[in-house]
Amino acid sequence: MKCSTMHFKTLREVPAEAEIPSHILLLRAGMIRKLVSGVYGFMPLGWRSIRKIEEIVRQEMDASGAQEIHMSAIQPAELWQESGRWSAYGPELWRLRDRNDREFCLGPTHEEIFTDIVRHDISSYRQLPMNLYQIQTKYRDEARPRFGLMRSREFIMKDAYSFDRDEAGLDESYRIMYEAYERIFTRCGLIFRPVEADSGAIGGSNSHEFTALSEVGESEIAYCEKCSMAATIERAECVNAKATDGPELPMEEVYTPGSSTIEAVADDLGLDKSQTMKALLFVKYNEEGQEDGYVAAFVRGDRELNMTKLVNALDISEHAIAFADEEAMGAATGCVGGFTGPVGLHDCTIVVDSELPGQKNLCAGACKADHHIKNVNYGRDYRGDIVTDIKVLGEGEPCPVCGAPVKYARGIEVGQVFKLGAKYSESMGACYKDEKMESYPIVMGCYGIGVSRTLAAVVEQHHDDNGIIWPMSVAPYHVIITLMKPDDEIQSGVAERIYQALREAGVEVMLDDRKERPGVKFKDADLLGIPLRITVGRGAAEGMVEYKLRRDAERTDMTAEEAIAEAVRVVNEERHG
Ligand code: ATP
Ligand code: MG
């Protein structure tokens, strides 16, 4: 297309609200447009790249046997009430009412809708397995929308749902999707790592996140260079510290005025933090949003509590728990802010990290202001209602698989695959009959890709100080012809000839024929990140042009014919990713 007739508006200045490169560059290149916080529109060039990502997704989904459908973003509350998620989903669910006061939500995801489809349409094992997907707009009223397309309130997602007769079938569907995701993200030009992810209270190896490696990513992953262990921090299992030996000493109450933190009490009593334990205090809420009991979680003083593991241990939703008001909780349970220990605590669920029973003679709060107790021992002095791993696997700690020191990396979660099992089919009654006419719940998997987030992740991994450097496969156009002097007949003639030849060869090409200074055109070409630039300037009189790849500094003078041939070759080699 010719730039003189195109709509795009580039910005020289960095927009005030943008902090990370992808957000800054997508705004500066005029590819996205903010409407309100967390809600963005796509301008022509941005939309072309979105459609390319969608096309890659579509091709790989279709090739793996999935079928595309398209459901409404508006979903009736009744389906969510059936699955139990109307209350469990929390404030991210964007709820609305129609004129007759009937309740709806804007779909943050579509498990209920797809389960509803199959419970009506599937009755026999002969119809299984099946995989349905859509590419569609999702809504989540995120607490902190930020970073542009990374965490927005309206975004494009590919969501797929597989339906099988048993676990073995699900394992196969899951493997097929996992492999399709590897191809999709590779074709989009991403450097990524599939990592084990939290799969709620079900546990096991039931979910993977696909993480595009990036310093600005919100996902933290732990991985091991010696073995293949890689998991999100929420999910990563943690090796318990070796049990300590020796006799259990008698408990001793000590006066520790003002030492309400682990650091202070360890200092005060000359202990290592690992010889102490700390308490974290929470209140639970029921489905009606009313307070529903207190929780005290204990981990060793040098550890961090893993909130996801705690929520899974309690088998509640993450929205059903919050930090407790210490005074109110104190009145009900005997805890004392900054001085809470397991001894003397009552009327609350006590969750004890799995390594504490092996740790002898720890120092804990005394449930009494300005006091601690030394030599607290599990079994003799306190017990947990739940004893399980609720701690964070720290960087450098032993890998849970092979014991080598664990490394940390950051990344952007671009996709997730998940074995749902019979969670939705049981609650919503989606069953099939087998050969003997016996009825069983359909076994499900779900598979999401953040299409708009993937666009941002690509920019995050492919840019420099001057702008975006699109991989060919998702670039809005493959080639930009920068015409230095549109008024010069020879130059514009050569540019036009290259433009037509490339178009005939199926190359997507922009011709910058705007009446702008060359400096402006070069800056825009770099900012937009078109992978290949052909500059038509003074050399045109001799049939010469300049050929340059956006990713390389090197420029090469060649004839227009050579530039056309070279561009066609490179584009065809790289366009499918
Ligand atoms: P996150 O942990 O980042 O909030 P999620 O695990 O809740 O994401 P899923 O329910 O797994 O997200 O959704 C599937 C995919 O949709 C994610 O892998 C991500 O790429 C994308 N996605 C989720 N939330 C957003 C959002 N607010 N903005 C843009 N993309 C999103
Ligand atoms: Mg996810």
H or E segment and range at residue 293: strand 291-300
How many whole angstroms separate alpha carbon 539 and alpha carbon 14? 35
Mean pLDDT computed over 186-207? 86
* pLDDT at residue 245 greater than cutoff 90: no
Contact 297, 386 (CB under 8 A): no
Nearest CA residue ID for atom 4, ligand 1: 151
* pLDDT at residue 284 greater than cutoff 80: yes
Contact 361, 376 (CB under 8 A): yes
Percent of the chain with pLDDT over 70: 99
Residue 90 has a pLDDT of 86
Dihedrals phi, psi of 326, to nearest 5 degrees: -65, -35
Stated length of the chain:
577
Residue 480 has a pLDDT of 98
Tell me the pLDDT of the chain averaged across its residues. 96
Burial track 135-174 (b if 16+ CB lie within 10 A, e otherwise):
bbebbbbbeebbbbbbbbbbbbbbbbbbbbbeeebbeebb
Most ligand 1 atoms within 8 A of CB, residue of 416, 420, 446, 458 to mutate: 416
- Sequence-distant (6+) residues with CB within 8 A of 496 are 511
306 CA from centroid of ligand 2 (Å): 17
Residue 539 has a pLDDT of 96
What one-character DSSP code corresponds to residue 265? H
* pLDDT at residue 372 greater than cutoff 60: yes
pLDDT digits (tens, 9 = 90+) for 156-192: 999 999 999 999 999 999 999 999 999 999 999 999 9
What one-character DSSP code corresponds to residue 200? G
Most ligand 1 atoms within 8 A of CB, residue of 133, 140, 161, 413 to mutate: 413
How many whole angstroms separate alpha carbon 143 and alpha carbon 108? 14
Residue 172 has a pLDDT of 98
pLDDT digits (tens, 9 = 90+) for 347-363: 999 999 999 999 999 99
Mean pLDDT computed over 123-145? 97
pLDDT digits (tens, 9 = 90+) for 475-528: 999 999 999 999 999 999 999 999 999 999 999 999 999 999 999 999 999 999
Question: Where does the pLDDT of residue 202 fall: very low under 50, low under 70, confident under 90, or very high at 90 and above?
Answer: low
Nearest CA residue ID for atom 22, ligand 1: 450
Q: Which amino acid is at 170?
A: L
How many whole angstroms separate alpha carbon 228 and alpha carbon 441? 34
Mean pLDDT computed over 290-308? 97
- In this structure, the residues whose C-beta lies within 6 A of any atom of ligand 1 are 109, 140, 142, 151-152, 155, 157, 413-416, 448, 450, 452-453
Question: Where does the pLDDT of residue 204 fall: very low under 50, low under 70, confident under 90, or very high at 90 and above?
Answer: low
Contact 269, 373 (CB under 8 A): no
pLDDT digits (tens, 9 = 90+) for 509-522: 999 999 999 999 99
pLDDT digits (tens, 9 = 90+) for 43-61: 999 999 999 999 999 999 9
Closest listed residue to residue 155, CA positions, set 44, 73, 227, 230: 73
Which has the minimum average pLDDT: 147-161, 180-194, 312-326?
A: 312-326
| Ligand nearest to the Cα of 413, by number | 1
* pLDDT at residue 413 greater than cutoff 60: yes
Q: For helices 44-63 and 167-187, what crossing angle results, to 10°?
A: 140
Percent of the chain with pLDDT over 90: 95
* Helices vs. strands in the chain: H and E counts, helices first: 14, 31
| Ligand nearest to the Cα of 94, by number | 1
Residue 288 has a pLDDT of 84
450 CA from centroid of ligand 1 (Å): 6
Backbone CA torsion sign across 515, 518, 519, 523: positive
Position with higher pLDDT, 47 vs 289: 47
| Ligand nearest to the Cα of 139, by number | 1
In order, the DSSP letters of 129-193 are SEEEEEEEEEE---SS-BTTTTB-SEEEEEEEEEEESSHHHHHHHHHHHHHHHHHHHHHTT--EE
How many whole angstroms separate alpha carbon 422 and alpha carbon 443? 5
Mean pLDDT computed over 455-468? 98
- Please state the atom number of ligand 1 nearest to the C-alpha of residue 454: 20
H or E segment and range at residue 499: helix 489-504
| Ligand nearest to the Cα of 153, by number | 1
pLDDT digits (tens, 9 = 90+) for 77-104: 999 999 999 988 889 999 999 999 999 9
212 CA from centroid of ligand 2 (Å): 13
